[in-house]
Structure 1
Amino acid sequence: MYKVDLPVDDSQDKVVEARRSAERARKARFFNPRQRVMGVDLDALNQQVLENKHKRSCEKLRNRDFDNLQRRQDEMLLLQDSNEKEKRKALQKDLNQFWDLQQQMKISHDVEVKGQYNLTIPESELGPSSMHIFEGEDRRRKERVKEQMRKKVKDLQEQMDDKKMRDKRAKHREMLLNNQLVNQDLMWAQQNAVEEERRKAALVSLWNDNQALAEVRALDRREQRRNEAADNLVEIWHAGTSDMLTETAEPAETYLGGGRPPHVLPDKWRGMSLAQLNHFHEQREQQRLEKKKQLEADKIRDAAWDMQLLKISKAGDEKDQKMAELRRQQRILMDQENKQLARLQQAHQHYLNKELYTNKPTRDYFAQFNTGCR
Structure 2
Amino acid sequence: MEAALPKDLAQEAALAKRRHAEICRQKRVFDARNRILGGDTEAWDAQVHDQKIKEATEKARHETFAAEMRHNDKIMCILQDRERRDRKNLCKAINDFQQNFQKPETRREFDLSDPLALKKDLPARVSDNDLRNTVSGLQKFMGEDLNFKERKKFQEEQNREWSLQQKREWEQARADHKLAEDFYTQTRLQFDEAARSLQKLESATRRATCAAVKEFNKKQAVASAERKRQERAQEQEDNLAEISGLLSGDLLTENPLQAVSSFGPHRVVPDRWKGMSREQLAEIRLTQKQQVQEKLRCQEEQRLCNMDWDRRRIQKARASLLCDRQQQRLQRGLRKALDCSNLSLAQEQHSRKKYMNDMNTNQLSEDYFTQFNTRSR
TM-score normalised to structure 2 length: 0.40
Q: Which has the larger radius of gyration?
A: 2
Which has the bigger relative contact order, CA under 8 A and spacing at least 6? 2
